[in-house]
Amino acid sequence: MLPTGNATWDVSCSPATPSDSDGDGVPDADDACPATVLPDEPTNGLKGARFSALGDGTFDSGLDRLDGLYTLTDTAGGSATDIIVSQGLGAGDLKFGLSRGALEDFIAGLASDAQPVSRAAPDGTISER
């Protein structure tokens, strides 16, 4: 049986899906490049181990075996063009795709910017000797 009497409820709802302004699959709150244009295509076509972002959230390369190895989640929503521009990379990257080294450097830079994980105990206590 339900309790009787007056009860108040304080309920707030958040949207079912967070907004993703550029539609790259990475929510705005997590998107390092919130104005990504997809797909980004190098002007002269992909060459070898160079990458560009497709519309499906993965990176394509000039080598079939590397296709899909990296995703827009890995780059926090940054396309090859976003990364080339933000890192001030050369015209060669725009012509032939982002080099694998530059792509991996960008991803590594994102990881090092991450906030340190809190080590507080779940109940908030701090044990002392």
What does R_g of the chain's alpha carbons equal in angstroms? 22
For the chain, how long is the longest CA-to-CA vector? 73
Minimum CB–partner distance for residue 4 and Ca ion (Å):
49
Q: According to CB under 5 A, which one of 11, 14, 29, 33 is a site residue for Ca ion?
A: 33
Report d(CA 50, CA 90) in Å as an integer.
13
Which residue's CB is nearer to Ca ion, number 49 or number 76? 76
E runs forming strands in 1-129: 50-53, 59-61, 98-99
Query: Residue 31 interacts with Ca ion (CB under 5 A)?
Result: yes
According to CB under 5 A, which residues from 63 to 122 bind Ca ion? 77
Q: Which residues of this chain interact with Ca ion, rule CB under 5 A? A: 20, 22, 24, 26, 31, 33, 36, 77
